[in-house]
Amino acid sequence: MHDIYNFVVGPLAWFGWGVFILGSIFKLVYAYNKFVTKDGTSAPYMSWKYGLRSIGAWLVPFNALGWRNNPLVTVVTFVFHICLILVPVFLSAHAVLWQQFFGVEFFWTLPDNVADYMTLAVIAACVFFAVRRLAYPRVRFVTEAKDWWVLLLVVSPFITGFLAYHQVFQYQIMIVLHVITGLAWLALIPFSRLAHMLFILFSRAYIGSEFGGVRKAKDW
Amino acid sequence: MKFDRKIDDAGLREGIAKLTPEKIQETFLQFIEGETGAKLKVYSETCVRCGMCSEACHYFMSHDGDPSYSPVGKVTQTMGVLLKKKGLVDPEFIYKCAQIAYTECNLCRRCIHYCPLGIDTGYIMSMVRRFCHKLGVTPLYIQDTAHSHSATFNQMWVKDDEWPDALLWQEEEARDEFPNLRVPLDVEGADYMYSVIAPEPKFRTQLIYQAAAILHESGVNWTMPSLPGWDNSDMAMFTGDFEMMGRLKRAHFECAQKLKVKKIVMGECGHAFRSVYDMGNRWCGWDNYPVEVVHSIEFFAYLLRSGKIKMATKFEGPVTIHDPCNVIRGRGLMDELRYVTSEIATEVIEMTPNREHNYCCCAGGGVINCGPPFKNVRIKGNKIKAEQLKRMKDQGVNTIISPCHNCHGGLEDIIHAYDLHMELKFLGDIIYAHMEKTKAVE
């Protein structure tokens, strides 16, 4: 079991990170090249000012019309994304790994009990998204198999991490599953619906530039 | 997916009769490779299918939350399937794509305000239209207007001699009221070239009379072109015939350049304005328009601010404003529109939502131009607007101001169908009727 653990946090982890980083670079460079060569009627209108204005406007909960008209989704979406990013990065157990493999020293980590609640929040948010997919015709109608896979992919490392931390079932197995699902999550970011993590700043900045620069109206 | 609302249209029917799945796929692959880029790809890969855009759409709201009318629902049923199947679909599916893209989306872009990822559904639907156009599957009536553009450079088959004839007719009519009024034709170096959409000479000729009266009274140096290029409208933009869209815009601007005018002033139209600043110019490779184009809203605001036109009286009674998508969400003229309205009417009561959040009229984006077969699509598809207008009516508002031809067409049908008994006004209607007419005979 120890060998398996060493394998998943060693070679497999490097592989997962490699796919994530190289895949993300590839995807972004590919999209950038395609944008400047094939979207000639759009690319020249990109603007730092209006792009950042749009990103800023949408980062404020309940500021955009869409956020205001979907209050519950807004709250869950913000909580979900904040926890989704903070927990994996600033968990004290992960800080050890950051130090061990990347030489990055953190000055601050999340207190374990806070991280625990944040993990539960992510799991609860995923349950909310799943229920919404099933119960809401407008979402069910457009849901595909890959929307379910991606939800499963996102929630798995949080469930396995939570169970491992609380030593439910067998710790050794659970921690290996946690690392594997976490790496799958990372590696599939560039190649699944999770790609919105890479592209959101650009797609938001683009439409913000169009609205601010050309259409002289707000896009929120 | 079941599609139980097929409407018979000769253009779509005849169009798909010539297709095979292989032909469709070949065209699709060329289209994707040659004409689309990162935008379409990123949009289709990153949409997380949250469905938040649904409530943005008047069709969705008017059909009691039927998900097949939501923006993402319409994308999923059309471009989503095309991309997934790499264009290998049967002709009947193209019929469905065309019906959805041409008649169930006004390209109003209200959904932009709902999508956290900034996905432009209007763009995706216009790409579906472009693809249908390349396959030759377009609704009959709007295709007729596009053919008219190709043959005559105007939307309504107005012949070369009929155009100056219509202008001179209105000049003659107006001279009973303003004895020295001229509709100056082809005056080189004029400050303003006034351009209209072809429905004006065809069946809203009084608008030319009104505009001539306002321009005459204001004393500005203006002209109208006598040759093709006078029509600023652009149905080719909406059918997906971008080649023709580019030719039309070029003709329009070259017309102004030949006359060496300083600015183009255009009548109260939304889509033509979109064509000049947003789509036609880009197709021609211009960053912006080569001759400045001023919408009537801005021009009236200028005339009122500078005192070139003074109001003798104001329109009595409360009015409300319907914000046209192409000049408001499309070009930010909401404050100017409110300035002009407050100058010409005694009381303005705002609708909610309004400004760039306003619900569409359901006629724009070429939907009304798809003609009688799809009239009920527009009327049933905009119950939400009727309810909004009804709320205004309940507050004692009987007059709606909207500076857009398409909005007038769409709202007239809605007002009639839902028994609202409200009247619609262009800004020019009120300005003409209530301005000081110092140059008129008593």
In angstroms, what CA-CA distances link A122 with A81, A165, B162? 8, 15, 68
Lowest-pLDDT range of A8-12, A117-121, B12-16? A8-12
> How remote is the C-alpha of A167 from its chain's centroid?
26
Per-residue pLDDT tens over the stretch A79-90: 999 999 999 999
pLDDT tens-digit readout, A108-132: 899 999 999 999 999 999 999 999 9
Average pLDDT of the residues of chain A: 94
- A105 pLDDT band, cuts 50/70/90, is confident
Question: For the stretch A12-21, what's the b/e string if a residue is b when 16 or more beta carbons lie within 10 angstroms of its beta carbon?
Answer: bbeebeebbe
Q: Using an 8 Å CB-CB cutoff, list chain B residues near A32.
A: 38
Q: Does pLDDT of B303 surpass 80?
A: yes
Which residue of chain B is at minimal alpha-carbon distance from A56?
B116
- For B146-159, what is each residue's pLDDT tens digit? 999 999 999 999 99
pLDDT of B3 > 90? The answer is no
Q: What value does the mean pLDDT take over residues B294-313?
A: 97
Interface of B with A in 24-53 (CB under 8 A): 36-39, 41-43, 45-53
User: What's the whole-number average pLDDT of chain B?
Assistant: 96
Q: Classify B105 as helix, strand or coil.
A: coil
Q: What is the pLDDT of residues B378-423, one digit of tens each?
A: 999 999 999 999 999 999 999 999 999 999 999 999 999 999 999 9
Q: At what angle do helices B296-305 and B206-218 cross, to 10 degrees?
A: 30
Mean pLDDT, range A30-46, rounded to an integer: 95
Is residue B10's pLDDT more than 90?
Answer: yes
- DSSP result, B127-147: HHHHHHHHHT---HHHHHHHH
CB contact under 8 A, B114 and A65: yes
A-chain CB neighbours of B357 within 8 Å are 65
The distance between the two most distant Cα atoms of chain A, rounded to a whole number of Å, is: 61
**B401, B319 in Cβ contact below 8 A?**
yes
Q: Hey, is the C-beta of A144 within 8 angstroms of any chain B C-beta?
A: yes
* Residue B138 near residue B11, CB atoms below 8 Å: yes
**Report field, pTM of the whole predicted structure over 0.90:** yes
Find chain A residues with C-beta within 8 A of B356's C-beta.
217-218
Q: Residue A48: which pLDDT band, with cuts at 50, 70 and 90? A: very high
The confidence band for B1, taking pLDDT boundaries of 50, 70 and 90, is: low
> Does the CB of A72 have a partner CB in chain B at under 8 Å?
no
Contact B36 A196 (CB under 8 A): no
Is some CB atom of chain A closer than 8 A to the CB atom of B64?
no
Tell whether A128 lies on the interface with B, counting CB pairs under 8 A. Answer: no
pLDDT of residue B2: 63
Distance from CA of A139 to the nearest CA of B (A): 5
- Rg of chain A in Å (alpha carbons): 20
A contacts of B334 (beta carbons < 8 Å): 217
Please say if the pLDDT value at position A9 is more than 90: no
- The alpha-helical segments, DSSP class H, found in B104-241 are 121-135, 140-152, 162-174, 199-203, 206-218, 236-239
Smallest CA–CA distance, residue A94 to chain B, in Å, is 28
Cβ contact, residue pair B45, A193, below 8 Å: yes
Residue A2 has pLDDT above 90, yes or no: no
Average pLDDT over residues B185-212: 96
Q: Is the ipTM, as predicted for this complex, more than 0.90?
A: yes
**What pLDDT, on a 0 to 100 scale, did the predictor assign at position B161?**
94
Chain B, 120 to 159: residues with Cβ < 8 Å from chain A are 120
CB of A34 within 8 Å of a chain B CB? The answer is: yes
Query: Strand, coil or helix: what is B192?
Result: strand
Pick among A33, A215, A218, A219 to test the B interface (most B CBs inside 10 A): A215
Chain B interface disruption, residue of A24, A142, A206, most B CBs within 10 A: A142
pLDDT band at B212 (very low <50, low <70, confident <90, very high): very high
